[in-house]
Chains A and B, each alone.
Chain A
Amino acid sequence: MAEKIGGVFDAFGLKTGKQKFEYTAAGGVYAGENVYAVLQAPRGDATEALVLCAAWVNTEGELNESGVALVLALARYLKRWSLWSKDIIFLITSDSRAGPQAWVDAYHDLHTPPAVASLPLKSGAIQGVVVVDYPTSRGFESLHIVYDGINGQLPNLDLINTAVRIASGQMGVRTTLQEMWSHDNQYKDRLRTMLRGMVNQGLGHASGPHSSFIPYHIDAITLQAYGDGWHDEVTLGRTVESLFRSLNNLLEHFHQSFFFYLLMAERRFVSIGTYLPSAMLIAVNFTIAAIGLWLKSGRLNDKEENKSSDGKASEGKNKLLESAGEVPSAAEQPDVVSEERPLLLSMAFVVATHFLGFMPLYLFNNLDEKNFTSAFYIFTLLNVILPPVLCAIFTKSFAPTALHFTLIKCFSLLLLGMFLSALATLNFSLSFLIGVFASPITFINPTPKRKWTVGAAWMALLQGLTPTTALVGVALYWGEPLSEILKEAAFGWRVWGMWTQVVVWCVWWPAWIIAGVLVAGSWAVEA
C-alpha cells in the first residue's frame, strides 16, 4: 500500500516519506506503515504546517476507499495553487488507531525507536489537522464531525465552528455530532448529544485518527461521510479545501478560551463557566464531608477521653489542649499519638488502600488479551469479598475503634474530593461521572451500631456501584464484549498514553474499597 501511494505522491512532484511502526499491547501486535507527502508552501517559510489525513482502514475496520482517493486528488489539486502560506502534509496511515499516534509521536521526536521509526522528512509546527473518512463510493447524506481527543482533551471550538459553517453554509451539507443521526434541536436531543459527548470524553479513548494529534496541542477533527444521499466526493473535497483555506489564513493559534465546552448541537455549546460548577460541587461535597468528619472526630475523641478519665475531666472542649501534659501515663511512653486523634493508623490504612490500586492497574494493562475475560470474572469475585476480608484483617490486627473508622472515611473522602477537583480541570466528564458514581460513599456511616439489614443494603448498593460494574456498563453501551473493552484500555495505555484507568483504579476503586470496609466495619466493630 505504502509503495503505491508513495509512488502516486512522487508522481505529483511532492516530497514523500514512509514510516514503519509496531506496537505490542495486551499480547497483540499492531504494525503498519504510514506514508506521507509534504507540499511546501509557495508563500511560507516552512515554520507552520497543516495536515490532511486519511486512514487506509477507518475506526470501524472498513476500507476508506473514497477518503484516501480524495486525499490523493486534493494533493494534486492543492499543489497547483500559489496561495498557501503553510505547508500541507498529506498523510495516509495504515490504520486509524496506532498509525496516527506513531506518526505524530515521531513528528515531535517522542517516539520509541526501533519499534516506531523516525520520520525522514518533516515540516513546521502543525497548526491543524483534518481527517477524511469516507469508506463508500456512494453518495453521502451528512457529515459527521468527530472531535474527542485522547484523555478527554478537545480541539478548539473554532475549528468545529469553521467546519460546521463551511459544510452547512457553503456546501449545504448537514452536519451531525456524536452519532446523533437525527437531531431536532430540541431539549431531548441536545441532552443526548451532550451526554454522549460526556461519555466519550470521560472514557478518554481515541474516537478517530485525529485524536492522537490533540495531546500535542494541535487542533484536529475527523470528517466522516455518513448515510445515503446525493452529496459526492466533490462536495467533501470542496469542504476540505475551504477548511484548509481558512486554516491557511490563520495568523496564530485559535484563541485559548475555547477549549472547554460541551456541545449540545452543532451550533450550541455549554461553556466551562456553566458546567464546571457541577463537577466542582460534586468534588467539594466530598471535601465538605471530610471537614465535617474531622470536626466530628474531634468531638468523638473528647467523649472517649471523658469516659476514660471521667472524674478528672473538666471542660470537654479544652480537653484536647490539656491532655498532652496532664495524663501521667503518657509521660513514660514515647507514643503519645493515642491522646489525640489516632491519625497514624487511619492514614496508613488509606494510603495502603490507594497503593493497592496499582495491582489491578498493572494487571489489566499487562495481561494477555486471551485471559481478559477470565481475569475480569475472578477480579469481580475478589472485589465482592475484598472489603469484608480487609475489614476482618484490619479489626483483628489493630483493634480499631469507631474513631478510627471515622478518620479513615475522613481521609478517604478528602483524597477523593481532591483528586476529583484536580481531575475536573483536566477531564471534566470523567471527574463528573466518577463523582456521580461515588457520591453515595459520602453517606455511608461508620457507626458500629447499625443493624445488619441496613449494612447489607448498603453493601448491595455499593456492589452495584463498583468500577467493575461501570466496565460492564461501558461494554453494554458499546455493545461489545468485555474483553474488547479491556483490550482497548490496555491498547490506550500502551499506545495513546491514556490514563483513564489510572483514575479508575487508583482514585475511584480505593475510595470504593474503603466504603466497603466501612460498611463491613459496622458488623466487625460491634462483634
Chain B
Amino acid sequence: MDRRSLTVIIATVVLRLVLFTAFPSLPNLLTNRVELSTPVTSFKRLQEGLFLYTHGLSPYDGGVFHQAPLLLAFFTTLPSNPIVVYLVYILSDVLSAYSLIQIAASGVSVSTPYHTSSRKSSTWPPWAVAAAFLFNPFSIATCIARPTIVFTNTVILTAIAKGVQGRGVAAVLALAMASYLSLYPVLLLPPMVLLAHDSLPAVKKKGRSLGSFAAVLTAVFTVAAAVLGALSWGITGGSWEFLASTYGVHLLLPDLTPNVGLWWYFFIEMFDSFREFFLCVFQLHLAVYLAGLCLRLRKQPLFVITTLLGISSIFKSYPSIGDTALYLSLLSLYRHIFPLMRYTFFVTSTLLYATLLGPAFYHLWIYAGSGNANFFYAITLVWSLAVTVLVSDAIFAVLRDEWETERPEMKGKEIVQI
C-alpha cells in the first residue's frame, strides 16, 4: 500500500468515526431506513437474535431474525460497547478497501491473459479506486447503518482479491463464507473459478486443465459450505432450524418489508396460487445470466463477477443500497471504459433523483399518510431502472472495448448492431 492509499483509508476511518460519535442519533436513524437494512441484514434484527441467543432461546423463534448463526457467535464474543461494534464495521470497510487496492494493483480489470485493453493507460490508480469505494455516500451510509451486508461485501471483495492473485482455494473459501452469509454469492463460483484459473502463474497453469481446476475448487467450496453449516448446527444447539430461517427466507420471501428491490410489491399484489410459480421464475431469472455472461465475457471473468453483482443488486430477493455500493466500487476498476459508456449522465441523475425522492415518498406513505405504497414502489422502479441501464451500458462499453482491441481500425467509428 502506498502513502496515498493509506491517507485515503485514514481519512475515511476518521470520517466514519466522526459520523458515528458526533451524531449519536445517526446510526439508529439509518438503521431504520428500509433502503439500507433489509430483513436479512438489519442490525436491529441482529440485536434481537443476539438477545434471544444469549438468553438461551432459539434466535429464530419469533420469525424476526434471518441471519447466519456464525454472526451470533461472532457478536457474542464482542464486548457490548457500541464503539467496538462501530470499529468492527469500520474495520470491515477498511478490509474491503484493502482488497479493492489489491484488485486494482493487479491490473486484471484491463489486462487478462486473453485480452489487454487498448485504453489501459486511463485506469484509476489503486488509491483512487479505494477512495471511490470509501467516500461513496452509499458505502458510508451502509457502514453507519450497520447491516450485515457490510461483512458479505468484505468477504466477496476478499474472495476476488485472492482470485486475482491466482490463489484459487483461498478465493473459494472466502466465497463459501460469503454464500454462507447471504446465499446469492454462490452464483459467483463459476466466474471466480475462471478468474483464479486465468490468474494462475504460467508455471502452475501448465499441469492443470480448467476442468480439473474447477472440479477441485467446487469440491473445496462444497466442503467449506458443509463445514460452515455444521458449525452453525453446533452453534444453534444441534438444530437445523437456521436453514429455513436464513436461506429459506432468501428463497421463499416470507417477509414483505419494503426495500429498494422489485420483489416485495410484486409478491404483495400477487394471488397466492401464483406465488410458487413466480418465486421460481424470479429465482431462476437471477441464475439465468450466469452462463451467458461467462461464455460471452470469457476473456474478462472479473467483469463477469462485477456484472453479476450488479444484476443481483437489482433482482435479488432482499437488495439494499449496500449491494449497489459494492457494484459501483467494482465498476470504478473499469475507469477505462467510462468514455465508451453512453448514459452516464442519465444514470447519475436518475440515481440521485431516486435517492432524494425515495425517502420523500416513503415519508409520505408511512409517516404523513398522504401517499401510499405505490409512491415508494414507483421510486424503487426508477432506482432499479437506473442500475439496470448502468449495468447494460457497462456491458456494452466492455464489449466495445474488446472489439476495438481486436480491430484497432474501427476505433471511434459508429457501430450498428445487426
Shortest distance from the beta carbon of B19 to any chain A beta carbon, whole Å:
14
Query: Which residues from B are CB-within-8-Å of A259?
Result: 368-370
Pairwise interchain contact B345-A321, C-beta atoms closer than 8 A? no
Given known contacts A324-B119, A414-B349, A421-B357, is B372 in contact with A318 (CB within 8 Å)?
A: no
Task: Please report which residues of chain B, range 153-199, place their CB below 8 angstroms from some CB of chain A when the two chains form the complex.
Answer: none
Chain A neighbourhood of B371, CB < 8 A: 256
B122 with A336: CB separation less than 8 A: yes
Interface residue? B278 (CB, 8 A): no
Binary per-residue interface labels of chain B (400-418) against chain A in the complex, 1 for a CB within 8 Å, 0 otherwise? 0000000000011100000
Interchain CB contact under 8 A, A321 and B339: yes
B121 engages A331 (CB within 8 Å): yes
Cα separation A324 to B118 with both chains bound (whole Å): 9
The yes or no answer to B364 lying at the interface (CB within 8 A) is: yes
Q: How many residues of A contact B (CB 8 A)?
A: 34
List which B335-372 residues lie within 8 A (CB) of chain A. Answer: 336, 338-340, 345, 349, 352-353, 356-357, 360-361, 363-364, 367-372
Residues of B within 8 Å of A503, CB to CB, are none
User: Does chain B have a CB within 8 A of A320?
Assistant: yes
| B121 with A422: CB separation less than 8 A | no
Is A275 interfacial (CB 8 A cutoff)? no
Q: Is A340 an interface residue (CB 8 A)?
A: yes
In the bound complex, residues from chain B placing their C-beta under 8 Å from that of A414 are: 349, 352
Provided the pairs A260-B370, A325-B121, A414-B349 are in contact, do residues A426 and B340 lie with their beta carbons within 8 angstroms?
Answer: no
B411 pairs with A418, CB closer than 8 A: no
Which A residues lie within 8 Å of B352 (CB)? 414-415, 418
* CB-nearest residue of chain A to B411: A322
Contact of B369 among A256, A320, A423 (CB under 8 A): A256
Interface membership of chain A positions 305-344, coded 1 if the CB is closer than 8 angstroms to chain B and 0 otherwise:
0000000000100101111110000110010100110000
Residues of B within 8 A of A318 (CB): 412-413
Chain A 101-118, CB-CB to B under 8 Å as 1, else 0, gives 000000000000000000
Q: Does A291 contact B (CB under 8 A)?
A: yes
Tell me whether chain A's interface is mostly helix, strand or loop, or mixed.
helix
Chain A's nearest CB lies how many Å from the CB of B127?
10
Interface size class of B (residues with CB under 8 A): 20 to 34
Residues of chain A within 8 A (CB-CB) of B107 are none
Known: A256-B372, A322-B411, A425-B360. A291 touches B122 (CB 8 A): no
A-B interface, 4 closest residue pairs, ranked by CB to CB distance from nearest:
A259-B370, A318-B412, A422-B356, A217-B369
Contact assessment for A287 and B368 in the assembled complex, using a CB-CB cutoff below 8 Å: no
| Residues of A with C-beta under 8 A to B368 | 153, 215, 217, 259
In the assembled complex, B125 has its CB within 8 A of some CB on chain A: yes
Q: Restricting to A251-265, which residues have a CB under 8 Å from any CB of B?
A: 253, 256, 259-260
A419, CB-defined interface residue at 8 Å: yes
A419 to B352, CA, bound (A): 10
A330 and B121 in contact, given A318-B412, A321-B411 (Cβ under 8 angstroms):
yes
Determine if B336 and A422 form an interchain contact, defined as CB atoms under 8 angstroms apart.
no
CB distance from B308 to the nearest CB of A (A): 26
In the complex, which residues of chain B have a beta carbon less than 8 angstroms from the beta carbon of A336?
121-122
Most chain A CB neighbours (cut-off 10 Å) among B119, B124, B339: B339
Complex: A186 Cα to B352 Cα, angstroms: 43
Distance (whole angstroms) from the CB of A15 to the closest CB of chain B? 29
Inter-chain contact B345/A422, CB cutoff 8 Å: no
Residues of B within 8 A of A256 (CB): 369-372
Are A425 and B357 closer than 8 Å at their CB atoms?
Answer: yes
Contact (Cβ within 8 A) B370 A421: no
A interface residue numbers (CB < 8 A to B): 153, 215, 217, 253, 256, 259-260, 287, 290-291, 294, 315, 318, 320-325, 330-331, 334, 336, 339-340, 414-415, 418-419, 421-423, 425-426
Taking CB atoms, residues of chain A closer than 8 Å to B370 are 153, 256, 259-260
13 extra A-B contacts, CB within 8 A, seeds A322-B412, A425-B361, A426-B364: A215-B367, A256-B370, A259-B368, A318-B412, A318-B413, A323-B339, A324-B119, A325-B122, A330-B122, A334-B125, A421-B357, A426-B360, A426-B363
User: Within the assembled complex, what's the spacing in Å between the Cα atoms of A256 and B373?
Assistant: 12
Contact indicator B349/A422 (Cβ below 8 Å) = no
Q: Which of B124, B338, B340, B360 contacts A422 (CB under 8 A)?
A: B360
Residues of the A chain whose Cβ atoms lie less than 8 Å from the Cβ of B336: 324
The residue on B at minimum CB distance from A258 is: B370
**A315: which B residues are within 8 A, CB to CB?**
412
A256-B372, A418-B352 known; A425 and B121 CB under 8 Å? no
In the complex, what residues of A have CB within 8 A of residue B367's CB?
215, 217
Q: How distant is B105 from chain A, measured CB to nearest CB, in Å?
A: 13
- In the bound complex, what is the Cα–Cα distance between A215 and B412 (angstroms)? 56
Residue numbers in A under 8 Å from B119 (CB-CB): 324-325
| CB-based contact B349/A418 at 8 Å | yes
- Do the beta carbons of A418 and B353 come within 8 Å of each other? yes
How many angstroms between the C-alpha atoms of A418 and B411 in the bound complex? 36
Which residues of chain B come closer than 8 Å to A260, judged between CB atoms? 370
Q: Which residue of A lies closest to B366 (CB)?
A: A217
Contact B364 A421 (CB under 8 A): no
Report A109 CB to chain B, min CB distance, Å.
Answer: 15
Contacting residues, chain A, for B361 (C-beta < 8 A): 425
Supply 28 A–B pairs (Cβ within 8 Å), ascending by A.
A153-B370, A215-B368, A253-B369, A259-B368, A259-B369, A259-B370, A287-B349, A291-B345, A294-B345, A320-B339, A321-B339, A321-B412, A323-B339, A324-B119, A324-B122, A324-B339, A330-B122, A331-B121, A334-B124, A334-B125, A336-B122, A339-B122, A340-B338, A418-B353, A422-B360, A423-B360, A425-B361, A426-B360
Instruction: Give the CA-CA distance A336 to B128 in the complex, in Å.
Output: 12
Task: Check if A425 sits within 8 Å of B122, measured CB to CB.
Answer: no
Closest Cβ neighbor of A334 among chain B residues: B125
CA distance A291 to B349 in the complex (A): 10
For A330, the chain B residues whose CB sits under 8 A away are 121-122
Distance in angstroms between the alpha carbons of A419 and B353 in the assembled complex: 8
Rounded to whole angstroms, the CA-CA distance of A304 and B10 in the bound complex is 38
Q: Which residues of A contact B122 (CB under 8 A)?
A: 324-325, 330, 336, 339
* Bound-complex Cα distance A418 to B353 (A): 6
In the complex, what residue of chain A is closest to B412 when comparing beta carbons? A318
Q: How far is A373 from B352 in the complex, measured between Cα atoms in Å?
A: 38
Q: Assess the A325–B369 pair: CB atoms within 8 A.
A: no
Question: Are A325 and B118 closer than 8 Å at their CB atoms?
Answer: yes
Per the bound structure, the CA–CA distance linking A336 and B121 in Å amounts to 9
Q: Give the distance in Å from the alpha carbon of A318 to the alpha carbon of B411 in the complex.
A: 9
Beta-carbon contacts under 8 Å, B120-162 to A: 121-122, 124-125
B358, closest chain A residue (CB): A422
Of B345, B356, B412, the residue contacting A419 (CB under 8 A) is: B356
Q: How far is the CB of A179 from chain B (nearest CB, A)?
A: 25
Set of chain B residues within 8 Å of A253, measured between Cβ atoms: 369
The complex places the Cα of A259 from the Cα of B345 at a distance, in Å, of 35
A436→B338 CA distance, assembly (Å): 37
- In the complex, which residue of chain B has the Cβ closest to the Cβ of A332? B121
Q: How far is the CB of A448 from chain B (nearest CB, A)?
A: 24
CA distance A290 to B371 in the complex (A): 29
Write the chain A residue with the least CB distance to B363: A426
Q: Roughly how many angstroms separate A253 CA and B367 CA in the complex, as a whole number?
A: 14
Distance of A477 Cα from B75 Cα, bound (Å)? 59
A331 to B364, CA, bound (A): 51
CA distance A331 to B352 in the complex (A): 33
With beta carbons under 8 angstroms apart, the residue of A215, A217, A340, A421 that contacts B353 is A421
Bound complex: CA A253 to CA B368 (Å) = 13
With CB as the reference atom, state the residue of chain B lying closest to A216. Answer: B367
- In the complex, which residues of chain A have a beta carbon less than 8 angstroms from the beta carbon of B356? 418-419, 422
How far, in angstroms, from A340 to B360 measured CA to CA in the complex? 34
Query: Nearest CB to that of A426 among chain B residues?
Result: B360
Report the minimum CB–CB distance from A129 to chain B (whole Å).
15
* Shortest distance from the beta carbon of A417 to any chain B beta carbon, whole Å: 9
Residues of B within 8 A of A339 (CB): 122
